Amino acid sequence: MVGPMTTKLLDLVLPVRCVGCRTNGRLWCESCATEFGGPSPVRRPTISAGPPAYALAGYRGPARDAVLAYKERGRRELAQPLGVAVAKALPWVPEARPGPDGVWWLVPAPSRRRTSRLRGGEHMTNLARWCATELARSGHGVAVAPVLELAPSATDSVGLDPTARAANLAGRVRLRPRAAPPRGSPVVLLDDVITTGATAAACHQVLTAAGLEVTAIVALTSTD
């Protein structure tokens, strides 16, 4: 597995290449950045009864490469451009809105603790913070609430079918014992990939039980 330290060492001896088109010079070039556009609706049976879900790109091509490089291959520098992409899209999500005090609450989907430690921290929390920074520059009040966590018994969901994914997460998404948004606050759930929708559904259930209103689910990508 390539970790953040190994990646930094490789950068000292190899030219930086765009993770999308493999050209030299930048980790994520302006051309590939256009892969993430306005929010497109995502429909899955698992989340059909919940808030609307959106993705900024399909899970293919440069967009997929960027997500994999960021999530799996230690390219934590991508948190900034990916966070900026989400910040640009959020105002165009019809259901997303700030609370009565004007604050947008962003809740990142959780990662497994062991995986996060190996990969340099919780990737969606880091992305959400860059998203918040960009929204604040545009004059929005915004706060990141990393209040969700996965129980250690939750396993990697890669390769699981929809039923197995749901069973893997059942009762294993938990609310962290830390300050959460005020009860009744509208929140936006942020994720990297919507596949079956099991993660989003489990997160929505926990947040709703905590008295929060999940107005929308916004992901970087979604599978076909």
pLDDT in tens, the chain (224 residues): 455 555 555 555 567 899 999 998 899 999 999 999 999 999 999 999 999 999 999 999 999 999 999 998 889 999 999 999 999 999 999 999 999 999 999 999 998 877 777 677 899 999 999 999 999 999 999 999 999 999 888 877 777 888 888 888 989 999 987 778 999 999 999 999 999 999 999 999 999 999 999 999 999 999 99
Tokens representing residue 166 in the block: 């749901």
**pTM for this entry:** 0.89
Residue 179 has what pLDDT?
74
- Using left for φ > 0, alpha for ψ between -120 and 50, and beta otherwise, residue 197 falls in left
Structural element, H or E, at residue 81: helix 79-89
Q: Work out the angle at residue 120's Cα, subtended by the Cα atoms of residues 117 and 123, and round it to the nearest 5 degrees.
A: 100
Secondary structure of residue 87 in the 3-state scheme: helix
| CATH class of the domain defined by 33-222 | alpha beta
Tell me what pLDDT residue 118 has.
Answer: 67
3-state SS, residue 163: helix
Q: What is the DSSP string of 174-218?
A: EE-SS--PPTT-EEEEEEEEESSSHHHHHHHHHHHHTT-EEEEEE
